[in-house]
Amino acid sequence: MKILAIDLGKYNSVACQLDISSNQPEYETIGTHRYYIEQLLTKTQPELVVMETCSITVWVHDLCMSLGYRVLVAN
């Protein structure tokens, strides 16, 4: 299973991809913009996207869902 965790920030976000079979995390900093998040999702093809609730979580959640990804929002 591939999990993509995104630490959302106002201008930049940090993504951590974890493939549980290898247990090796991969980190990447991206701009917090629809284009960059969509590119990240296309590149990583995660089975689950995880993010913490914040002021911009709604549109990122909706973007992920519209592209067919499962999303978990933690409080």
Average pLDDT over residues 61-72: 97
Cβ count within 10 A of residue 24: 9
- What's the CA dihedral at 22, 40, 31, 10 to 10 degrees? -80
Q: For 18-58, how does the pLDDT look when each residue is reduced to its tens digit (9 = 90+)? A: 998 889 999 999 999 999 999 999 999 999 999 999 999 99
Average pLDDT over residues 9-14: 96
- What's the CA dihedral at 18, 50, 41, 66 to 10 degrees? 150
Residues 30 and 70: their CA atoms lie apart, in Å, by 20
> Which residues, in sequence order, are bridge partners of residue 74?
52
Model pLDDT, residue 11: 96
What is this structure's pTM? 0.92
Residue partners of 35: CB distance under 8 A and separation at least 6: none
Model pLDDT, residue 7: 97
